[in-house]
Chain A
């Protein structure tokens, strides 16, 4: 039996008075491709942000490879994890953001090389080769010395993916990565993701509004509504065969 690489156990998250996640239980298996869909405010982005250590759960536990992400043992007790603990586990997780968040003061090649060199202390030449290869793979091999400000939105997002991939994560998180793009640029980004889904054995979690795309590449689809996982199953099951009224309402609005 394959063990899950990520486990959410009864995770709750409140922002002030507002409870956004009301008890999430989820297992993610190695190599699984998961799409998370749902209306605004349902908490879908918060789920992956907690895994990326950008938000802390209000209660509940998240395990990565069997290790508790947000808690650690100290003198026989479980206390809130310190930065060192978070960094150890974080090294297996990567994220691509809705607004790219490329480093504007570096070329796209430098954007990709900086983290492996400084964080993982890898050999500079090796990192350079890998970065060039990755940037070529996402179709930007001819713009290595350009700065982010010189690229289109779609190009920036592809760089962002290359940058995350060079770190060789076991899990890649995608936070509505096409929502901030002009419609004609969305396709090139989806193509890259499709290629990754087909050829990479890392787990991928995509928060997205692109239903047809989700149908195409996802092994599992989660419908998040009002802070809980309202529907879970294969893409076909969730998007085409569910009889959940709210889900159907939601799909009506989003499927072209």
Chain B
């Protein structure tokens, strides 16, 4: 029997974690987009050193688990930089940002490469400089191609924010865990509500992703 009282009480409790969840998501997302473009473009560079160095970053973060990266950075950052970052917020943002930045860099790289060769040749035939080819022809098309995957990864980052509860950040899941550990019999209601909460946050992102798929279908030439 679902106790209506319990329901009304739990939700506001969980909502206290909303600020952390959303702020970590937004910050990590922005950071990861930046990393994605930086790393993606670096991997296309003609400079071997830049290419290889970036590949190392990408392979390490793609080849290991986010939760491991999170814990590792939690202990490593104070040691490496000799500072306590003040809160674990930055650790969470950096871990998620670096992890998904690595995955998305492959999307950036892949979509630039898959803009059809004929587009580059047409741009050359019109005597555009390499920079102009990128800016006017390749990039606009690659960007459209990236949108669905980028929205997909953003939803994954939302899910990933739940991990910061493991390093003591007071997000939605954290508050859920508190209620559960105070009263184990509440566990079903609590975790179902937590899931619903995350799903509500995901809904706008899911719709954005469907939109992104539509946009990417027109306006792109790939063979």
Physical contact A–B (CB less than 8 Å): yes
Q: B122: which of A53, A103, A120, A147 is its contact (CB, 8 Å)?
A: A103
* Contact residues in A for B132 (Cβ distance below 8 Å): 118-119
Decide yes or no: A102 and B122 within 8 Å by CB, A114-B136, A118-B136 being known contacts. yes
Contact B127 A115 (CB under 8 A): yes
Instruction: Determine which of A87, A104, A163 lies in contact with B221 in the assembled complex, contact meaning CB atoms within 8 Å.
Output: A104
Q: Considering the chains assembled together, what is the distance between the CA atoms of A214 and B132 in angstroms? A: 36
Flag if A101 contacts B119 (CB, 8 Å). Answer: yes
Q: A103 to B119, alpha carbons, bound, how many Å?
A: 7
Judge whether A115 and B128 touch: CB under 8 Å.
Answer: yes
Tell me whether A91 is interfacial, beta carbon within 8 Å: yes
- Measured CB to CB, the nearest residue on chain B to A167 is B126
Q: A53 — nearest CB in chain B belongs to which residue?
A: B124
Alpha-carbon distance between A36 and B57 when the two chains are bound, in angstroms: 51
Per-residue 0/1 for B196-223: is the Cβ within 8 Å of any A Cβ (1 yes, 0 no)? 0000000000000000000000111100
Give the total of B residues in contact with A, Cβ under 8 Å: 22
Asked if B141 lies at the interface with its beta carbon under 8 angstroms from chain A, I say yes
A97-B121 contact, Cβ under 8 Å, with A104-B141, A105-B140, A105-B144: yes
Which A residues lie at the B interface, using CB under 8 A? 52-54, 83, 87, 90-91, 93-95, 97, 99, 101-105, 114-115, 118-120, 147, 149, 160, 163-164, 167
Residue of B with least CB distance to A112? B126
* Min CB–CB distance B168 → chain A (angstroms): 47
Residue B12 lies at the interface, judged by CB distance under 8 Å to chain A:
no
Question: In chain B, residues 117-135, which have Cβ atoms closer than 8 Å to a Cβ of chain A?
Answer: 118-119, 121-122, 124-130, 132
Residue contact A118 to B128, C-beta cutoff 8 Å: yes
Closest Cβ–Cβ distance, residue B48 to chain A (whole Å): 19
Question: Complex: how many Å from CA A105 to CA B145?
Answer: 12
9 A-B pairs with CB atoms under 8 Å apart are A52-B125, A53-B124, A54-B121, A83-B130, A102-B221, A104-B218, A105-B220, A119-B128, A119-B132
**Is B137 part of the contact surface with A, judged by Cβ < 8 Å?**
yes
Please name all residues of chain B whose beta carbon is closer than 8 Å to the beta carbon of A95 when the two chains form the complex. Answer: 125
Distance to closest chain B CB from A147 (angstroms): 8
Are B127's CB and A105's CB within 8 A?
Answer: no
A interface footprint on B125-168 (CB within 8 Å = 1, 0 otherwise):
11111101000110011001000000000000000000000000
Contacts across chains A and B counted by CB atoms under 8 Å? 69
Known contacts A97-B121, A101-B119, A103-B119; A149/B127 CB under 8 A: no
A-B contact sample (4 more), CB < 8 A, given A90-B124, A102-B221: A93-B125, A97-B122, A103-B137, A104-B141
| Given A103-B137, A105-B220, also A119-B122 (CB < 8 A) | no
Complex: chain A residue closest to B217, CB-CB:
A149
- Across-interface contacts of A167 in B (CB, < 8 A): 126-127
Q: Are A87 and B129 in contact (CB-based, < 8 A)?
A: yes
Q: Tell me if B127 and A99 are in contact (CB < 8 A).
A: no
CB-CB nearest in chain A for B139: A105
Min CB gap A175→B, angstroms: 10
Option from B118, B129, B130 in Cβ contact (under 8 Å) with A101: B118
Q: Determine the chain A residues whose CB is within 8 A of the CB of B218 once the complex forms.
A: 104, 147, 149
Nearest A residue to B222, CB-CB: A104
- What is the CA–CA distance of A95 and B126 in the complex, to the nearest angstrom? 8
Tell me the nearest residue of chain A to B130, going by C-beta.
Answer: A83
**In the complex, A53 Cα to B127 Cα: how many Å?**
10
The complex places the Cα of A105 from the Cα of B216 at a distance, in Å, of 10
B57 CB to closest chain A CB (Å) equals 29
Q: Bound complex: CA of A115 vs CA of B130, how far in Å?
A: 13
The answer to whether A105 and B219 touch across the interface, beta carbons within 8 angstroms, is yes
Contact present for B118 and A119 (CB under 8 Å): no
Given the known A-B contacts A87-B129, A119-B127, A149-B218, are A101 and B121 also in contact in the complex, defined by CB atoms under 8 Å? yes
Q: How far does the alpha carbon of A120 sit from the alpha carbon of B129 in the complex, in Å? A: 11
Docked-complex contact A91 and B219, CB < 8 angstroms: no
Bound together, the chains give a CA A90 to CA B124 distance in angstroms of 9
- Which residues of the partner chain A approach B128 to less than 8 Å between Cβ atoms? 115, 118-119
B165 to nearest A CB, angstroms?
A: 42
Q: B107-123, CB under 8 A of A: which get 1 and which 0?
A: 00000000010110110
Closest chain B CB from A89 CB (angstroms): 10
* Nearest CB in chain A to that of B220: its residue: A104
- Chain B residues whose CB sits within 8 angstroms of the CB of A97 once the complex forms: 118, 121-122, 125
Shortest distance in angstroms between B133's beta carbon and chain A's nearest beta carbon?
10
Nearest CB in chain A to that of B144: its residue: A105
| Known contacts A99-B118, A105-B144; A52/B124 CB under 8 A | yes
